[in-house]
Structure 1
Amino acid sequence: MSAALDTLVFPPAMAGEAVSGDPAEAAVLRAIQGVDAGLVVYRVAADRVGAALVFAPEVPLAKAMVMLPLCQVGFQNALGALAPPEVAVHLEWSGGVRVNGAGCGRFRAFASGDDAEAVPDWLVIGWEMPLWPPNEETGETPDQTALYVEGCADVDPGQLVEAWARHTLNWIARWEDEGAGPLHGEWRGLAHGVGEDVDVDGVSGTFLGLDESFGMLVRHGEETTLIPLTRNLEESP
């Protein structure tokens, strides 16, 4: 059985806060109010689970956005440790999560501003994942799935939130100590759609991979276009 929400345990550098609404939007509100970095806002419901982490970047937004793929990798590591070994978890550059090839939740990014060269006051990275499909007619949306219909019925959603926080904190420490290299390599091995045709932000072509700042490289004919990671920012609610 799932642990009570108020018993979720987070690393010393983090604090938890349960909410009944969208965790990412709630985290943005708390960030605007000036909450300390390290707050994990989360929701564990009967059909969905999600969480969001508040950051206080010390680098310009263009570099701080590395926290989006970093949090994705932390999530993949967390779910990979809790799910059966045959369950495949991959990551989309634009924030989507793929479980056994089908879309299953997504990550979102918010910041206090959109100037790539300015240090933002705060940055919020959040995610949400369906535990059960919205209806029983799953054949109507074959490209979308839910965690519990992909062999993960024994994954405790509260433990998933806790594990995500721990793995994400570990990756933050590695990023601070070793730079983006290890993270870049880890994400590349988990990336969905490399080598395939994509249409992102009005740019169509072949997804070649990432540059050193995790920007998306798209080849169209003889031209290669770089789409910066900041294009994944959403407007604050």
Structure 2
Amino acid sequence: MSETVTFPPLMTGEAAGSGQDPFDLACQKAELGVDAGLVVYDLGTDVLRAALVLAPEVPLAKAMAMLPVCGLGFQNALGALAPPEVAVHLDWDGGLLINGARCGSLRIAASTDAPDAQPDWLVVGLDLPLWPAGDGGDTPDQTALYAEGCADVAAPRLLESWTRHCLHWINRWDEGELKALHTEWRGLAHGIGEDRQQAGLSGTFLGVDEDFGMLLRDDTTTHLIPLTTVLVQD
């Protein structure tokens, strides 16, 4: 697609070249010192991929909040464009669900994996299938945007909306509105109260701590799984 995409103030866009993964490209540019606010994107015919470069001035453990922040941004963005009956939920590790089925994901990388270190950069990527791959009946737990009543949602407009809503939540997070962030996220979180396996542990997903670490309760104790465990490693 060659449609013009307009980004909010403080953000700039760059289309990825053919065959380039916007997430990998954004990480490379961040490593070379590009300014925060760059959005690298690919508006393919069957998938929307984008990555946002950030530079939170806090330790990584707290900066990981950018994953749920961008998840809220996605739900708000699609909610503004899709029919009202379309339901979006967010998995703790970045998975996206539309009408109860898996539909793409968010992923996150940073310049460091040390929780107490302030990262030089952080990148959040969005991968969203627009059209199903093959026969959707083969994978009933997987879906695509246009298979869920969202055929009128143009990918460029969704990308614009996602960046605007991400910026809104980033600003609220930066202003210390953590309670609002947690409240909104918990209302969209998938699987709280259900059994789950994560990081080699099994138990009931109770919720998250102040830094969005997973609280997983087994028969004897409650484990805290830091959100840093979902970082994409080089």
Same fold (TM over 0.5): yes
Which structure 1 residue ranges, 5 or more long, are not aligned?
A: none
Partner of 2:69: 70
Which residue number in structure 1 is paired with residue 230 of structure 2? 232
- CA separation in 2, counterparts of 1:190 and 1:88? 9
1:164-179 equivalences in 2 (<5 Å): 164-179=162-177
Q: What SS is found at the alignment partner of 2:175?
A: helix
> RMSD over aligned Cα, in angstroms?
1.0
Spell out the pairing of 1:188-207 with structure 2 (5 A cutoff).
188-207=186-205
Query: How far apart are the structure 1 equivalents of 2:231 and 2:11?
Result: 23
Question: How far apart, CA to CA, are the structure 1 residues paired with 2:186 and 2:5?
Answer: 31
Aligned residues: 232
Matched ranges for 1:22-37 at <5 A: 22-37=21-36
Report the alpha carbon displacement of residue 225 of structure 1 after superposing the two structures with TM. 0.4
Residue 52 of structure 1: aligned partner: 51
Aligned residue for 1:13?
10
Letter in 1 for 2:5: L
Alpha-carbon shift at residue 175 of structure 1 (Å)? 1.1
Task: Give the SS at the match of 1:178.
Answer: coil
Distance in 2 (CA, whole Å) between partners of 1:141 and 1:162 is: 30
**Partner amino acid, structure 2, of 1:192:** H
Runs of 4+ in 1 over 3 A off after TM superposition: none
Query: Which amino acid in 2 is paired with 1:229?
Result: L
1:104-143 alpha-carbon deviations (Å, 9 max, x no partner): 00010001111111111110001111001111x2111111
1:189 is paired with a residue whose SS is helix
Q: TM-score normalized by structure 2?
A: 0.97
Which residue of structure 1 lines up, in the alignment, with residue 153 of structure 2? 155
How far, CA to CA, are the matches of 1:207 and 1:48 in structure 2? 31
Show the 5 A alignment for 1:39-118.
Answer: 39-118=38-117
Structure 1 residue 222: Cα displacement: 3.1
Shift of 1:167: 0.3
Give ranges in structure 2 of 5+ residues lacking alignment: none
- TM-score, normalised by the number of residues in structure 1: 0.95
Distance in 1 (alpha carbons) for counterparts of 2:167 and 2:112: 24
Deviation at 1:212, TM superposition (A): 1.1
Q: Distance in 1 between matches of 2:232 and 2:132?
A: 25
Say if 2:215 is the partner of 1:217: yes
Once the 2 structures are TM-superposed, how far is the Cα of residue 178 of structure 1 from its aligned partner?
3.3
Percentage of matched positions with identical amino acids = 61
> Does the residue aligned with 1:74 lie in a helix, a strand or coil?
helix
Q: How far apart are the structure 1 equivalents of 2:217 and 2:52? A: 33
CA distance in 2, matches of 1:45, 1:23: 12
For 1:133 and 1:22, the matched residues in 2 are separated by: 20
CA distance in 2, matches of 1:57, 1:186: 21
Letter of the 2:42 counterpart: R
